[in-house]
Amino acid sequence: MARVPAVACPALFISAPASGQGKTTITAGLARYHRRLGRRVRVFKTGPDFLDPMILARASGAPVLSLDLWMVGEAACRQLLAQAAAEADLILIEGVMGLFDGPPSSADLAATFSVPVLAVISAKAMAQTFGAVSFGLARFRPDVPFYGVLANRVGSARHAQMLEEALPRDLRWCGHITATDAIELPDRHLGLHQAAEIDNLDARLERAADALGATALAQLPPPVEFGEALNEAPPRLLDGKRIAIAHDAAFSFIYPANISLLKTLGAQIDYFSPLVDEAVPAHADALYLPGGYPELHAAALANNTRAAQSIRAHAAVNKPLVAECGGMLYLLEKLTGTDGLITPMLGLLPGEAHMQTRFTALGMQQIDSLHGPMSGHTFHYSKLATPLAPLRFATRPQGDAPGEAFYRAGPIVATYMHAYWPSNPAFTAALFHGKAF
């Protein structure tokens, strides 16, 4: 086991009173600003999220990992932060939803690791109430270290003055950002657009960095110490395994930590794109179809016969195939959009899915196996109808209602649940050996 001595690194937790306040824009802009100054910036995202980290990685130039006291675990979160502190000049953590929404909440995470909180508050259609909201965020929980507030989407210099004057004198005013579409990030049904799909993303990040450079956030926050970084590698349970992973605009919901774990376990990773009709690499021992947006690319996927035939051939010789959420939809017989249009899919799993206009499942979940539990989450806008009997159901950390079903059909294991593989390396290896259940 390699030990890296504890070091203190400037760190800031970017949160807000609710979703939609501009946390990602501000976090990405800050990362780009400090990166421009030659600083090594490591950004983390609170909770399960695939989309925000894509943008934050583009802004910071480094992979963005998840922090969550339940899904990742406190000990693993501490290790990730300690490792980042040992190599970075600045750590930024973007919160999820509102500061106290949970459990576990962004406030829980900030308090656990003593990271000061910057509250980003959208001041559109708000004046003196800005002071009351700021006061509430700062005082609601005394154990949460509070850094200050940033006013976002401000209409004018006079508007900014009114907001600052409404702020209690003992709360730090960190400045304001004016309302402009030039830096706002577009969104859709599962959240923000993927980084590669946002027009002029780098120009937007540069403009956000310019705006933040004129605020108090141009200065580094106080240093935080997270303890020693312990590098203990798990056994190489996938040594020599070659795993093919679908990766394109239709299949992109992949935790970077999951891929890092596969490599640490000894696997060789080969990516391919069903969306551009690439075949599964012939030497692949196992296949992973992650979640994403197959519904946005259903027609192209249906027409891409080379990719389809190679996935069917992989399953036909009984090689393990793991499919999550959108990857599972791709394996079904057909997919129906919200417009009623029916598109044939691969037909490797019996049944069909119907896209909905609102999400049909959301929250943390856990699946048990022969190798113990694995944590993860679910978030989807489709409903599945299949004659397959579930192999087992995930459970929820809160409540007794069953979680997502896990299905097995020959070498295929499929589910809506997005698993966080580092929560159980042995289970992960067993999935790709076809022996998880």
The pLDDT of residue 401: 86
Q: In whole angstroms, give the CA distance from residue 229 to residue 15.
A: 26
- Looking at the predicted structure, is the pLDDT value of residue 28 above 80? yes
So where are the chain's domains? Answer: 2-225, 236-433
User: Annotated catalytic, 325?
Assistant: yes
For the stretch 213-272, pLDDT in tens is 999 999 999 999 998 877 788 899 999 999 999 999 999 999 999 999 999 999 999 999
- Order of strands, edge to edge, in the sheet holding 352-355? 342-344, 334-336, 352-355, 382-385
Q: Is the pTM of this model over 0.75?
A: yes
242: enclosing H helix or E strand = strand 242-246
Measured CA to CA, the distance from residue 42 to residue 31 in angstroms comes to: 8
DSSP E strand stretches across 23-172: 41-46, 65-67, 90-94, 117-122, 146-154
* Average confidence (pLDDT) over 138-142: 97
- Please give the pLDDT value at position 188: 47
User: Which of 172, 194, 174, 173 shows the shortest CA–CA distance to 185?
Assistant: 194
Is it true that 2-225 and 236-433 share their CATH fold? yes
Arch. (CATH architecture) of 2-225: 3-Layer(aba) Sandwich (3.40)
Query: Which residue in this structure is represented by tokens 């999820």?
Result: 96
Question: How do residues 121-131 score in pLDDT, each as one tens digit?
Answer: 999 999 999 99
Any idea which residue has 């910036």 for tokens? 41
The number of residues making up the chain comes to 437
For 355, the token pair is 């896209």
Strands (E), 19-170: 41-46, 65-67, 90-94, 117-122, 146-154
Buried b (16+ CB within 10 A) or exposed e, 100-125: bbbebbbbbbbbbbebbbbbbbbbee
Whole-number percent of the chain with pLDDT over 90: 88
| 236-433 fold | Rossmann fold (3.40.50)
Structure-model confidence comparison of residues 128 and 359, the more confident one:
128
> Taken in order 182, 184, 190, 194, is the CA torsion positive or negative?
positive
